[in-house]
Amino acid sequence: MTTQSTTSTPRTMRASVLVTPGNVEMQDVPVPALTSTQVLVKISAVGVCGSDTHFFHEGHIGDMIVKSPLILGHESAGSIVAVGVNVSTSRIGERVSIEPQKPCRICEYCKGGRYNLCPNIEFYAAPPIHGAFAEFAAIESDFAHPVPDHVSDEAAALMEPLSVAIATCRKAAIKPGSRALIAGAGPIGILVAQIAGIHGATDITVSDPAPHRREFALRTGATRTVDPRIEDVTSGPLFDVFVDASGAPPAIQSGIAAVKPGGRVVLVGMGADSVELPVSLIQNREIELTGIFRYTNTWSLAIDLVASGRVDLDALVTHRFGLEDVKTALLTGGDDPRAIKSVIVP
């Protein structure tokens, strides 16, 4: 398919490729070819997500298995340098945040507005679809969302985890006066706390064993923090909502027990594939329990919240790495106790 651009684009690019679990290599690979409705983005920043580290260490997440070399990275932003023939060349030069997925648009889930559940979706860095730890990436033109000039490249990339938080709080039905318990003070837990506050939650309790993460959570949205190693979250008044952003089975179990009758539980953290649940408690309290899988229709709100200053994504970034240091970045979250969010700058 013919590509439109104002300057010539290279045929190859540098990319950090997961060859086998634990083994990342810098390679020269072809620049993605565009369909008629896609744009080519020169990547300026990519956040390192827990799913990237999971694929790096384990080679799979559930039934998503890395069977061939894969470019990781899905929290990304950059500038459009070329467009497909059905996309206006006026978009070339735009700074954009990438919504890293391509739904089929015709299945029952897409037509019902839940395109995150599309069985044929192509999602960055979900095998076998390549991601954005590279110099360029291709995306559908309407999933390349323009960002204002005063929003940084790193914040533009982190619209993706912010979108997870927005989708989580929507699913949790947080409203003015809600009491919310959040397990895990990583980027998702911290952002869920911020969005919960924007939704009107008045008690936002974040549980995490790491002191520096609890301190960070208090500075960025939590009204209270607890150390789950020494504090029992079930000992006080029960919560309207529990969000697990840790993936830790003990946190999930104690969090469910801390939810009041008729409350909600939303599981967003990645951890064990199976967890023992207090079924009788869930039944007796009529607790609604659900998961969250990515997001739908969140980017406009995410961009508005960041552009208006109501959410500060730049504050999350604690480490920066070049494209050649992706392996170090993937290891940093576990090796550096003060890490919150690492970003790759190609």
pLDDT in tens, 176-195: 999 999 999 999 999 999 99
Q: Say what the pLDDT of residue 5 is.
A: 67
Residue 51 forms part of a structural domain: yes
One domain for residues 27 and 149: yes
Q: What are phi and psi of 226, to 5 degrees?
A: -135, 150
Q: DSSP label at 230? A: T
CATH number at 197 reads 3.40.50.720
Intervals of the chain under pLDDT 50: 1
Overall domain count for the chain: 2
Q: What is the pLDDT of residue 140?
A: 98
pLDDT recorded at residue 257: 97
Residues with Cβ < 8 Å from 231, sequence gap 6 or more? 207
pLDDT value, residue 334: 55
Q: Is the peptide bond before 128 cis (omega within 30 degrees of 0)?
A: yes
Residue pair 203/175 in contact (Cβ under 8 Å)? The answer is no
Establish if 303 belongs to a structural domain. Answer: no
Q: How far apart are CA 62 and CA 220, in angstroms?
A: 32
pLDDT of residue 9: 85
237 and 154 within one domain: no
Say yes or no: 198 and 323 in one domain: no
Do 134 and 13 share a structural domain?
yes
Residue 273 belongs to what domain range? 165-291
% of the chain residues with pLDDT over 70 = 97
DSSP 8-state assignment for residue 37: T
Specify if 305 maps to a domain.
no
In a domain? residue 302: no
Q: How far apart are CA 103 and CA 118, in angstroms?
A: 6
Q: Kindly state whether residues 145 and 33 are assigned to the same domain.
A: yes
Bridge-partner residues for 41, per DSSP?
A: 80, 137
Task: Name the CA radius of gyration of the chain, rounded.
Answer: 20
pLDDT at 8: 75
**pLDDT single digits (tens) 135-151:** 999 999 999 999 999 99
- Whether 300 maps to a domain, the answer reads no
CATH number, residue 61: 3.90.180.10
| Residue 50 belongs to a domain | yes
Residues whose CB falls within 8 Å of the CB of residue 72, separated by 6 or more in sequence, listed in order: 16, 18, 52, 55, 56, 125, 131, 133, 326, 330
Q: Is the domain of 215 the same as that of 280?
A: yes
d(CA 82, CA 290): 40
pLDDT of amino acid 316 = 96
Please indicate, yes or no, whether residues 37 and 72 belong to a single structural domain of this protein: yes
| pTM for this model (two decimals) | 0.95
The answer to whether residues 152 and 21 belong to one domain is yes
- Residue 301 inside a domain? The answer is no
Q: Classify strands 12-20 and 70-71 as parallel, antiparallel or unpaired.
A: antiparallel
134/16 Cα distance (integer angstroms): 6
Q: Which pLDDT belongs to residue 121?
A: 97
* 174 plus 128 within the same structural domain: no
Residues 130 and 148 in one domain: yes
DSSP letter assigned to residue 315: G
215 with 281, same domain: the answer is yes
Does the residue 297 lie in any domain?
Answer: no
- 154 and 7 both lie in a single domain: yes
